Chains A and B, each alone.
Chain A
Amino acid sequence: MTIMKYGQAVDFAVGEAMAEDDRVVTWGEDVKLIHRDLLVRFGPERVRDTPISESAFLYAGIGAAMAGLRPVVEIMLIDFLPVAWSGIVNAASKFRDFSGGRWEIPLVVRAGCGGWYTDGGQHEQVLWGQLAAYPNINVVCPSTPADAAGLMLTAVETDEVVVFLEHQLLSEQWIDYLAGGSRSTVDFDHLIPADGAQGEVPLPLERVPLGRAAVRREGSDVALISLGVGAHRCIEAAQVLGGSGIDASVLDLRSVSPLDRDAVVDQVRKTRRVVVVDEDYVRGGLSGEIAAVLLEADVAAAYARVAVEGTIPFAPHLEYAALPNVERIVAAAAGLE
């Protein structure tokens, strides 16, 4: 067991996987500088900088995976993946099926996601709901360093496509880089969930399976379901709700696809009330999917969702109000019959 920061844990897992298997390579924008520790350990052939050419270098990752490598392609921020959307939608998602199951695509797409540090509507999206819609695309977003390392190790080792989302608020690398965290004049401590940014990581690393949720808090009155920073916001909301006599459970999904349907159904069957807390857009995504899962399982429950309704505004107070903050979660949970 050792203490690691969130971003450090992800890089540690990539390093372990690269040391284990020399078919694992990584490329992306500024990767040599950002992941300099991987560069100096594995050399410039396995750790490559790309031009700002997302559609080409993402699609090239698919080609390389089909030809025997196990690439970890870094799309700096998930907001930039739409530039390369066809690679996900028409290739990574399809080629295994087109080959009759004979062609595996062992590709990890690694990207930062998420907000709370005020970076505007083109740098703070999560897009996990849309990504999860396509066949054969796994989508994960860990909320702790242990999960970050464990999920990354699984992601590199599986023969499937995994979109690995690092929450930018939890990653010390991204807060320093994107939010100007190096300034002594700003302080993110009020915003960053301490347990998510730094924590114990088991050594040797323990793999975290895809599609397995984690119960972070037991409770009998209402189930709060989320992932990433949202899981931490739910824990904080549960403590507030506890003060008014409402006993909330918190389920951290960890994977959006595959979705741990059993865990969702188990929680809500107990509570009969559920609030889905989603940093993604409210329409066409995870929050609606959870409602569908409950309906399909014949679980009748009072339901509410706290998600992003529109473009995430830049101004800090507007951004805060637009994201699924603790006040919104508490109000939604307390409002359920």
Chain B
Amino acid sequence: MALPKGLDPASAYRTMVRMRLVEEALTQAWADGLVPGEYHSGIGEEGINAGILAHLSGRDSMALDHRNTSPLVGRGTDITKIMLEVLGSEEGLNLGKAGHMHLMDPELPAASDGIVGASGPLAVGAAVANQRLNPGRVAVAFHGEAAMNQGMLMESYNLAVAWGLPVIFVCKDNKWSITTYSAEVTGGDLTDRAKAFGLRVRRASGDRVEDVYAAAGDLIRRARSGAGPGFLHVSCHRPAGHFEGDPIVRLLKNPRGQAAEWGPSIADSVRAQGGGSRSERAAALTDLTKRGARAARDYTVRSRMDPIRRGRRLLDPASADRIEAMEATEVETAITVARGAVDQRATFGATGGGAR
């Protein structure tokens, strides 16, 4: 496809590379035991984030979900500050109070919320404020397809249409609700659902930044002009699973090890006295097997649909090399600072009050 008008492929590629490198630095830090708790990476969502961010300017609002690092990186938040926050330093973006799931940057402005679906009402509120105080500014809510089963998000769609708000809901559809296959717990078609609320609907492939850019541009221009809210459905994949350490990804990467961990108690339980009939137990085993097979399929497909690899083809290789080298240096510098700030911590929380 021809590049959509207005898209600078080098700039979009730079944004995607920067996001990917920051995510990789943080997932490595997680594996090294330097990131406490959970970490939900945005690897696989770069095409979506870059395609949308290219249309945002000034003080357009962003309401983010648990995969919030990449949109902040792409929008220009200081990556050292982000990394310090995620590694648990009080020198971080939010003084160590937030952690990765709740990164906040009032300067942008962008707010993250770990409660699934909450980005919807937050963006609606920002849009009401923008409508009154800053006409021309839009608000963007980033959420997953699983969030579309959450009441507050559906209520937000209605509110946005009823009040004619300058808000865009971006549904990043990776097909998984935590570790449940979304189609198993979702009725109907999601774009039909959005249409039924009266939202202007567009679709795009998340592995093609130019596709996202074109679809988002249409919705954002429309919302900016006061013509009402939009819904963008974008397909994507999450190669690292719901979060680092996702048990299904563990199963895919190390089937024998995970089977050894889960197998004995599953075998005991399937034979245990009292409980379901033979066919009910068989149905349960099929259920678990199906989940593993679907995850394996998605995991494989993902490797062929990397937005970074596809985005690289939009510019000449020498320019891509230069961008990669420059971003790698900056990210390396930032993660070195962040790791240095917490490296005297043997393992988090293991020692008393004052120690890191």
Q: Which residues of A contact B (CB under 8 A)?
A: 15, 18-20, 29-30, 32-33, 36-47, 49-56, 79-80, 83, 116-123, 176-180, 182-183, 185-188, 190-191, 311, 313-321, 325, 327
Contacts and interface: CB of A to CB of B under 8 A. Distances in A.
A320 B179 contact: no
A185 B182 CA distance: 32
Given A44-B283, A49-B184, A316-B88, A117 B288 contact: no
B37 A325 contact: no
Given A190-B350, A316-B88, A42 B37 contact: no
Interface string B94-138: 101111011000000000011111000000000000000000000
B340 interface: no
B297 to A, nearest CB: 17
Given A18-B275, A45-B280, A123-B37, A316 B348 contact: yes
Nearest to A191: B349
A253 B306 CA distance: 53
A83 B152 contact: yes
B177 A318 contact: no
Nearest to A50: B185
B283 A119 contact: no
A52 B266 contact: no
A123 B266 contact: no
A315 B97 contact: yes
Query: Which 6 residue pairs are nearest across A and B when measured between Cβ atoms?
Result: A43-B280, A185-B33, A314-B99, A315-B96, A19-B274, A118-B36
Contacts of B247: 33, 177
Interface string B141-153: 0000011011110
Contact of B350 (A41, A178, A183, A187): A187
A106 B349 CA distance: 39
Nearest to A121: B102
Contacts of B276: 41-43, 46
Nearest to A169: B349
Given A51-B186, A121-B102, 16 more contacts: A18-B275, A40-B266, A40-B285, A41-B276, A51-B149, A51-B182, A83-B151, A118-B349, A122-B102, A177-B247, A180-B39, A185-B31, A190-B351, A314-B37, A315-B92, A317-B349
A318 B101 contact: no
Interface string B72-92: 000000000000010011101
A32 B287 contact: yes
Contact of A185 (B32, B102, B152, B288): B32
Interface residues of B, number: 76
A311 B97 contact: yes
A180 B37 contact: yes
A44 B277 CA distance: 11
Interface string B225-264: 0000000000000000001110110100000000000100
A120 B349 contact: no
Contact of A42 (B33, B117, B275, B291): B275
B356 interface: yes
Contact of B185 (A42, A49, A185): A49
B352 to A, nearest CB: 6
Nearest to B92: A315
Contacts of B85: 314
Nearest to B36: A118
B287 A37 contact: no
Contact of A41 (B272, B291, B355): B272
28 contacts: A19-B273, A30-B178, A30-B179, A36-B288, A37-B269, A40-B266, A40-B270, A40-B281, A41-B281, A43-B280, A43-B284, A49-B185, A51-B177, A51-B180, A52-B178, A83-B115, A83-B150, A117-B37, A118-B99, A121-B98, A187-B347, A188-B350, A314-B94, A315-B96, A316-B345, A316-B348, A320-B349, A327-B352
